[in-house]
Amino acid sequence: MIEKVNPSHPDKVADRIAGAIVDLAYDKDSNPKIAVEVLLGHNKCNIIIESSVRFKKEEVSNIVNRIVGFNVKLNLNQIKQDIHLSNNQKDKIRCGDNGIFKGSPLRECDKKLSSIARKIYSKYPYDGKYILDKDKLIICQSNASDEELIKMYPKAIINPLGYWTGGINVDSGATNRKLGSDMATSVTGGGLHGKDLSKADVSINIYAFLKAQKENKTIEISCAIGDEYIDGKPYEEIVSIAKKYIEEIGGFEKFAEWGLY
């Protein structure tokens, strides 16, 4: 059983905004320290940024307008990252947080639902969510023709409450609220989105997931802030693996669209 939401779901919109801000931080600094929280809905967007990088409000507003659209009121709060946390990374790349992580091999149902969600979204790029439970497929897709969806998936349960418009005018969205959709059966003590690569929530989650796919077994890792070695590797190497993965996807905003699969 698995649930997947698409990039226009309000929670994923929040993740995408946070990811785009992290992308901008890396444009300004090759090694920024940043954590972003986004809460939006009903024409309002609240953003808190803790960072070693300073942003102009116009830069953040441009990101929100590009992803969400205009006529969204932005409430932005920028705070310099805590000096003690910054000093942890001052001389050497060390683990930026405590955490527990479990990477799991993707199941066939995970791969199948991800493929279904992407196929529907390519035709209907609007808020949608999908569940696959054995042979039971539930499709809730806004701004879509039920007749077309029935043609695509004749055995599915489609929009059981009827036509809907979706988006942030119907629902609110917040960063890292759809980790089940992002990670399948993998588990994390933190969130994937809105953080730089020094954060274990980003780098170790990606590393554990990739290792689980490669070895086809569950990978469990724990870490403490300041750790220099994790899973027998220098933390710098784990960060490098995650960095390559993010770059190949196209950045943190692209990573936020679908998560790890």
Short-list 129, 156, 157, 132, CA closest to 142: 129
- Asked if residues 179 and 192 have their Cβ atoms less than 8 Å apart, the reply is yes
Structure tokens, 248? 């190949």
How many Cβ atoms are within 10 Å of 252's Cβ, its own excluded? 28
The alpha carbon of residue 196 and the mean position of all alpha carbons in its chain are separated, in whole angstroms, by 13
Domain ranges of the chain: 10-83, 99-106+177-258, 108-166
Q: Is the dihedral of CA 20, 24, 25, 30 positive or negative?
A: positive
Give the pLDDT confidence score for residue 97 in this predicted structure. 87
pLDDT interval class at 223 (50, 70, 90): very high
Give the pLDDT confidence score for residue 185 in this predicted structure. 97
Q: Tell me the Ramachandran region of residue 50: left when phi exceeds 0, alpha when psi lies from -120 to 50, beta otherwise.
A: beta
Residues in the chain, overall count: 261
Region 139-158 average pLDDT: 97
Q: The pTM is what?
A: 0.96
Average pLDDT, the chain: 96
pLDDT digits (tens, 9 = 90+) for 59-115: 999 999 999 987 899 999 999 988 877 777 777 888 988 999 999 999 999 999 999
Q: What percent of the chain has pLDDT over 70?
A: 100
Give the pLDDT confidence score for residue 82 in this predicted structure. 83
pLDDT at 19 over 90: yes
The alpha carbon of residue 34 and the mean position of all alpha carbons in its chain are separated, in whole angstroms, by 15
Q: Tell me the Ramachandran region of residue 69: left when phi exceeds 0, alpha when psi lies from -120 to 50, beta otherwise.
A: left
Give the pLDDT confidence score for residue 81 in this predicted structure. 84
At position 82, the amino acid (one-letter code) is D
Q: At residue 44, what are phi and psi to the nearest 5 degrees?
A: -130, 145
Give the pLDDT confidence score for residue 236 in this predicted structure. 95
Q: At what angle do helices 57-68 and 10-28 cross, to 10 degrees?
A: 140
Region 45-65 average pLDDT: 97
Q: What is the DSSP string of 63-123?
A: HHHHHH-SS-EEEEEEEEPPHHHHHHTSSS----S-EEEEE-PPPHHHHHHHHHHHHHHHH
pLDDT digits (tens, 9 = 90+) for 183-215: 999 999 899 999 999 999 999 999 999 999 999
| Cα separation, 227 vs 105, whole angstroms | 26
Give the pLDDT confidence score for residue 230 in this predicted structure. 97
CA distances (Å), origin 124, targets 10, 17, 42, 127, 158: 15, 21, 22, 9, 14
CATH C-level class of 10-83: alpha beta
pLDDT digits (tens, 9 = 90+) for 26-42: 999 999 999 999 999 99
The more confidently predicted of residues 147 and 87 is 147
Give the pLDDT confidence score for residue 45 in this predicted structure. 97
